[in-house]
Chains A and B, each alone.
Chain A
Amino acid sequence: AQSVAQPEDQVNVAEGNPLTVKCTYSVSGNPYLFWYVQYPNRGLQFLLKYITGDNLVKGSYGFEAEFNKSQTSFHLKKPSALVSDSALYFCAVSAASGNTPLVFGKGTRLSVIA
Chain B
Amino acid sequence: NAGVTQTPKFQVLKTGQSMTLQCAQDMNHNSMYWYRQDPGMGLRLIYYSASEGTTDKGEVPNGYNVSRLNKREFSLRLESAAPSQTSVYFCASSVPGQGKYFGPGTRLTVL
Contact = CB atoms under 8 A, between A and B. Distances in A.
Contact of A106 (B35, B41, B104): B41
A57 B8 CA distance: 36
Given A101-B33, A106-B41, A106-B42, A43 B100 contact: no
B101 interface: yes
Interface stretch (B13-21, B62-70, B71-79, B90-98): B90-98
B99 A49 contact: yes
Q: Quick one: which of A6, A45, A102, A106 has the most chain B CB within 10 A?
A: A102
Contacts of A84: none
B110 interface: no
B37 to A, nearest CB: 8
Interface in A37-51: 42-46, 49, 51
A99 B31 contact: yes
A43 B42 contact: no
A96 interface: yes
Interface residues of B, number: 27
B100 A99 contact: no
Contact of B42 (A32, A46, A90): A90
Give the contact-size bracket for chain A.
Answer: 20 to 34
Interface string B1-44: 00010000000000000000000000000010101000011111
A43 B43 contact: no
B45 interface: yes
A99 B50 contact: yes
Interface string A102-114: 1111110000000
Given A43-B90, A43-B105, A44-B90, A102 B100 contact: yes
Contacts of A90: 42-43
Interface of B: 4, 31, 33, 35, 40-45, 48, 50, 58-59, 90, 92, 94, 96-105
